Structure 1
């Protein structure tokens, strides 16, 4: 749980940089790769991570100023990355409207009273979770896997 807005912003920026690195490894010809047919693809997960902050910020009563259709991704991964960067910047801008004290305020999160600071932590954790899935899919697709929270096996050999 976050207790300081600045701590969330620092974590968010680092987390987003890693997410962007993963998205930038996706090629157009491999964006539909999924673990098995019918499961989430690299493209789906990229678009999901672009849209997810709007859900979390809606929970805390701070809607983001973005106009996205979760069911209709842009045509290219490059366009998804562009939208993701805009959303990421909007998160930082929007969270600055909060005060440190407000992070302890409880709001409803899917039927459970939850402190805003915990919801922000869940946003970062949610992104980290899907980012890890994407790293596995990148490897499965034969694409380069960027080191995000440390070097990859390939980077360790270099």
Structure 2
């Protein structure tokens, strides 16, 4: 649980920069890569990350721009751009409306009482979870996965080193 807005923002900036690299690596063709025929596609998961900022309004944050729409764009560039837009909309709302004291307040979320600071932790964990799913689908779609938590197999090869099995 976060107890200071600045602590959250530092970690969030690092994590969202990784998400931006992942989204920037997507192609329009890759968006249709499915997990299975009964699950989200790569584009659906990417759009879910954009829309996840919508849910923060359930914690009482008010946005100064429209929420992300329901329809998944067919353009990877649009998804990446909307992610950046919603990220900034969220940042403005968070820094303008919440304080360190606000992080201790509880709100009913998903049928439970969550402290706002815990909701911010969930926000990061949620994004990390879906980024992991996306990395697998990116490989299946033939895309190069950017560094997420250290160098990738492709990075090792580019450096002339043997990748780990």
TM range (shorter): over 0.9
Q: CA offsets per residue over residues 94-123 of structure 1, 9 Å max, x none?
A: 111211011111111122111000001111
Following TM superposition, where does structure 1 have runs of at least 4 consecutive aligned residues deviating by more than 4 angstroms?
A: none
Larger Rg: 2
Alignment match, 1:72: 71
Q: Is the partner of 2:114 in helix, strand or coil?
A: strand
Q: TM-score, normalised by structure 1?
A: 0.92
Gaps of 5+ in 2: 160-165
Q: TM-score, normalised by structure 2?
A: 0.89
Q: Which has the higher contact order (CA 8 A, sep 6+)?
A: 1
The CA RMSD measured in Å over matched residues stands at 1.4
Give the 3 Å change call, closer, same or farther, for CA 114–84 of structure 1 in structure 2.
Answer: same
> How far did residue 69 of structure 1 move?
5.1
The answer as to whether partners of 2:4 and 2:103 remain within 8 angstroms in 1 is: yes
Instruction: Provide the rounded CA distance (Å) in 1 between the counterparts of 2:64 and 2:48.
Output: 17
Gaps of 5+ in 1: none
The answer as to whether partners of 2:25 and 2:144 remain within 8 angstroms in 1 is: yes
> How far did residue 27 of structure 1 move?
1.1
Instruction: Provide the rounded CA distance (Å) in 1 between the counterparts of 2:79 and 2:127.
Output: 15
How many pairs are equivalent? 157
